[in-house]
Structure 1
Amino acid sequence: MNTDSIDPDKARIGVPGLDDVLGGGLSRGHAFLLEGNPGTGKTTIALRFMLEGARAGERCLYITLSETERELRAGAASHGWTLDDNIGIFELVPPESLFDAGREQSLLYSSDLELGETTKLIFETFERVRPSRVVIDSLSEIRLLAQNSLRYRRQILALKHYFARHSTTILLLDDLTSELSDKTAHSVVHGVVQLEELAPDYGAERRRLRILKYRGQAFRGGYHDFAIKTGGVMVFPRLVAAEHRTSFARHQVKSDIPGFDALLGGGIEQGSSTLILGPAGTGKSTFALQFVSAAIRRGEKAAIFIFDEELSLLFDRTAAMGFDLEAMRDAGALNIEQVDAAELSPGEFAHRVRDRVGKSQAKTVVIDSLNGYQAAMPEENSLVLHIHELMQYLNRQGANTFLTVAQHGLVGDMKAPVDVTYLADTVILLRYFEALGRVRRAVSIIKKRTGRHEETIREFSIGGNGLVLGAPLSDFQGILRGVPTFVGDAAPLLKLKNPGDDHS
C-alpha cells in the first residue's frame, strides 16, 4: 500500500507508519475514534495529529476534559515538541483554579456541569478558534456526564454532525475506563483505531494497534506493532511480502569452499532462503558467515542480526577463523547489529531488517538465531507467519537469507523449537558424531528446491583457516544418529589436529 504521495482529501496524522496503515490518513470532515486503555499512547498520537496539522498551516484545537494544559505541554516537551500558536488548548479544570485571578481562560469543572452546557462551551470555543482539526480527550468524561447510553449516543451524534457541517476532522479519544462493553461510539464515527498494550512474562511491554473500521477506505488490516519512544509513536505496519516484488537476475551463489559448493550442487540460488539446523556448537553461524565473507569479496553488501551472542565476543571468536567482521563493518560492506529480543517486538524487528537491507542494498542477510527470535514471539503460530513474510520479502528483493536454528540435544533424536524447514528453499543439517574415539562434525543437505544437490554426508572441521570439508563419508552408517557403524576404510575421515587446535 503506497502512501508516499499526499492526498489533499486526507488529514495525515504524522505518526511514522500509521498513515500507511490508514491508507494515507484520516478522511477530512469526518469523526474518528482512537481508543485504548490508559498508557497506550492515545494522547501522544493526538498531539502528533495536532502538530502535523499546524505544520501544514491548519488551525487546530485540543479540547481536554481529563488533563490540564500544563500536563499536555509537558508531555509534548518530553518528545521535543512545542505546541505553537496554531494549536489551541481548551481545558475543563477543577474549581480550585477559579481562585487563580491570573488565569485568562474560562475555567470549569466538568463533573459539575450539565452535559448540554459542556457541549455549548465546546461549540463556543470552536466558533472562536475555527479550527480544521479537533481532538476531544476524552469520551469517558462525556459518557459519565450523559449517565445513560441513549443520551451519550445523542451527544456523540451532535458533536459529529456539528463538526461535519464545518468540514472539520475530529479525533475522539476514549480511555475505556468506564463501561468497557459500551460500543456506542463505534457505530457513529467514520473510523475506529484501537490501541493495545501487552505485558509479556519477561521483558518490556508490547504495544499493537488495529483498524477496526474505516468507512469507504481500504486500509491495512490486522495487528501492527508500535512503540512509544522519545520523539513520539512509531508504528511498524505488518509486512506483506506480495507488495514488494522486484526483478533481479537469478544465478548461483557460491560459498567459496569447493567441497561445500559441491555438496550444494554448485551453490545456492540468488534470492532464496537457507535454514541451517544443528545442535549448539556445531558451527551454524560459521557456515552462514562463510557466505557473508564470499559475498563481500564479490563486492556485495551483507547484513547480520545477532540475537544470541555479544558482538565483541563474536568479533574475537570469528577473527580466529579468518573472518574479520570488524574490518568488513568499518569498510561499510557489513551491517551487523545485536538484537535484544526482550526489548523488541517482531514487527519492529521486521521493520529494522527492511530498513537496513533497503538502505545498504544488502544481498546477504543472516538472522542468528531463530531461537532468539522466538523469544520475542510468545505465540509460535504467529512466529511462523512473521518468518514467512520476512523471508518472502527478502527473497523478492533478490537477497539470500540465512537463518540458524539450534536443536535441542547433542546426538540422537533432536527437535527444533519451531519447525520452519518447509519454508526454507535450502536446509543444511549439521550433526555431531563419534568415530575412532573422537567427537566429529558432519554436514549434509536435506533439501534444495532450486536444483540437485549431493545426497552424501561430509565431515567438516573448523580451525584457523575457517571451514574445511572432507570427502563423502561412504564408509559409515548411522552418522545422523550420532553413533555410526564403521563399514569400511577409515581413510575418508579428516586428519584432525590436537583438540586445542580445533576451534568451534
Structure 2
Amino acid sequence: MYVGELLKSLDRVSTGVPGLDDLIGGGFIPGRVYLIVGPPGSGKTTFGIQFLIEGAKNEEKGLFISLLEHPKIITQDMLRYNFGLLTHLKSKRILFYDMGESIFGAGRRFTWSEIFENILRIIEAEGVKRVVIDSFTSLEYSVLDPEHKRMALGRFIRKLHERGVTCLIVAEMMSSENYTEDYYLTDGVIVLHHFMRNYQMVRALQVLKMHGVAHDSNLKKLRFTEEGLRVYPEAPF
C-alpha cells in the first residue's frame, strides 16, 4: 500500500490556470492542501473557481465553501468569464455551500476545531475530491480560541490528506513579513501580486512553496483574460 501511495503521488491534478501547471511539474499533487494568498482584487476567488471548473470538465465533483461572500454574488461575478459555470452548477458537478451564514449568523463564536469538523462533515456528505475554502482570513477574528489555530489546522490538514481531498485555502495577504500558520502547514503556497508601475497595474504570480515539486519561485506575469487567469513564463516587469 505504501508503494502504491508513492506512485499515486506522481500523478498531477491540473490547477485549471493556463501556464501554471508548467511551473509546478504538471499540476498539484492530488490529496494535498494548498494556500492561495494575495491582496484584494488579485484574483484569489477566480483562481479557486478555475480549479473547480477544471475538475468539472473531467467529471470531478467540486465544492466551493464560502465563508464570507454569498454564493449568489460569487456566481454573478464569475459570469464575466467564459467558464460555463452555470452549466456545471446545474449539473451539480460544482456545488456552493454558504458556511458564512451558519457561522456569522449563529449568534455565538465557534472554536477552530468546531469549524474544521463542520467543514469535514460537509466534504464527506458531498463526496467531493476538489474543495475551495474562501476566505479563510474571515475566521481569524471571529473564532473563540484564536490561539489554538495551529493545532486545529494541523489536524484538519491531516484528515484531508487521509481522505485524498485536494483543497485550496484562500486567504488575504496580511503582511509580506509576518507569515500565519497557513503558510507553514499547507503543502504549497501560491501568492498573487499586483503592483503599480509607470501608472499601470502589473499583476504577477509567485510559487512561494510547493512540497515534493521542483518549482520556480520567481515572479511570473499574470493576466485576467476572458477565460480567467493566465500565467506566462516571463517576468512581469
Fold conserved between structures, TM > 0.5: yes
Contact 1:29 1:167 in 2 (8 A): yes
Q: Secondary structure at the match of 1:26?
A: coil
Q: Distance in 1 between matches of 2:76 and 2:219?
A: 30
* Equivalent-residue separation in structure 2 for 1:173 and 1:153 (angstroms): 17
Paired residue for 1:234, among 225, 230, 233? Answer: 230
Determine which structure has more spread, i.e. the larger CA radius of gyration.
Answer: 1
User: Which residue does the alignment assign to 1:73?
Assistant: 75
Q: Is the 8 A contact 2:13 2:28 kept in 1?
A: yes
In structure 2, the partner of 1:42 is: 44
Match of 2:126 among 107, 124, 129: 129
Report the residue type matching 1:53 in the other structure.
G
- CA apart distance, 1:179: 10
Return closer, same or farther for 1:178/1:139 CA change in 2, 3 Å cut-off: farther
Does residue 207 in structure 1 map to residue 200 in structure 2?
no
Of the three residues 138, 146, 151, the one matched with 1:154 is: 151
Query: How many residues are paired up?
Result: 222
Cα distance between partner residues in 1 of 2:219 and 2:151: 31
Deviation (angstroms), 1:148: 6.2
- Separation (CA, whole Å) in 2 of partners of 1:121 and 1:77: 29
- What is the aligned partner in structure 1 of residue 186 from structure 2? 189
Distance of 1:50 and 1:193 partners within structure 2: 17
Residue pairs, 1:35-434, within 5 angstroms: 35-81=37-83, 82-83=85-86, 84=88, 85-94=92-101, 107-109=102-104, 112-115=108-111, 116-146=113-143, 150-177=147-174, 181-203=178-200, 205-238=201-234, 347=236, 377=237
Displacement after TM superposition at 1:180 (Å): 7.0
Over 3 Å counting, the alpha-carbon distance change for 1:189 and 1:110 in structure 2 is farther
Query: In 2 relative to 1, CA 8–53 (structure 1 residues): closer, same or farther, beyond 3 Å?
Result: farther
Q: Is the 8 A contact 1:209 1:225 kept in 2?
A: yes
Render the CA deviation track for 1:27-72: whole Å, top value 9, x for unaligned. Answer: 0111111110111001111100000011111111111101111012
Relative to structure 1, the CA distance from residue 180 to residue 109 in structure 2 (aligned partners, 3 Å threshold; closer, same or farther) is: farther
Quote how far apart the aligned CAs of 1:144 are: 2.1
Higher RCO (C-alpha under 8 Å, 6+ residues apart):
2
* CA distance in 1 between partners of 2:31 and 2:119 (Å): 17
Q: Is the 1:64–1:90 contact (alpha carbons within 8 Å) kept by the matching residues of 2?
A: yes
**Structure 1, unpaired ranges of 5+:** 1-6, 95-106, 239-345, 348-376, 378-504
Would the aligned equivalents of 2:209 and 2:217 in 1 still touch at CA under 8 Å?
Answer: no
- Aligned partners of 2:10 and 2:29 also within 8 Å: no
**Contact 2:36 / 2:189 at 8 angstroms: preserved in 1?**
yes
Counterpart mapping for 1:437-476 below 5 A: none
Q: Is the 8 A contact 1:33 1:189 kept in 2?
A: yes
Partner SS for 2:214: coil
Q: Could you say what secondary structure the match of 2:182 adopts?
A: helix
Checking the alignment, whether the CA contact within 8 Å between 2:25 and 2:214 is kept in structure 1 is yes
Q: CA RMSD in A?
A: 2.3
CA contact (8 A) 1:138 1:174 kept: yes
Partner Cα distance (1:180, 1:124) in 2: 34
Note closer, same or farther for the CA distance 1:118–1:159 as it changes in structure 2 (3 Å cut).
same
Structure-2 residue corresponding to 1:502: none
- Partners of 1:198 and 1:130 in 2: CA distance: 40
Q: Partners in 2 of 1:155 and 1:110 — Cα distance?
A: 22
CA distances 1:89-129 after superposition (whole Å, capped 9, x unpaired): 111345xxxxxxxxxxxx44268441233223212211210
CA contact (8 A) 2:31 2:165 kept: yes
Please report how far the alpha carbon of residue 162 of structure 1 lies from its aligned counterpart in structure 2 after TM superposition.
Answer: 1.4
TM-score by length of 1: 0.41
Seen in structure 2, the aligned counterparts of structure 1 residues 8 and 218 have a Cα distance that, compared at 3 Å, is closer
Matched-pair contact (CA < 8 Å) for 2:103–2:110: no
Residue in 2 aligned with 1:317? none
Instruction: Say if 2:110 and 2:144, in contact at 8 Å, map to a contact too.
Output: no
Query: SS in structure 2 opposite 1:118?
Result: helix
CA contact (8 A) 1:60 1:87 kept: yes
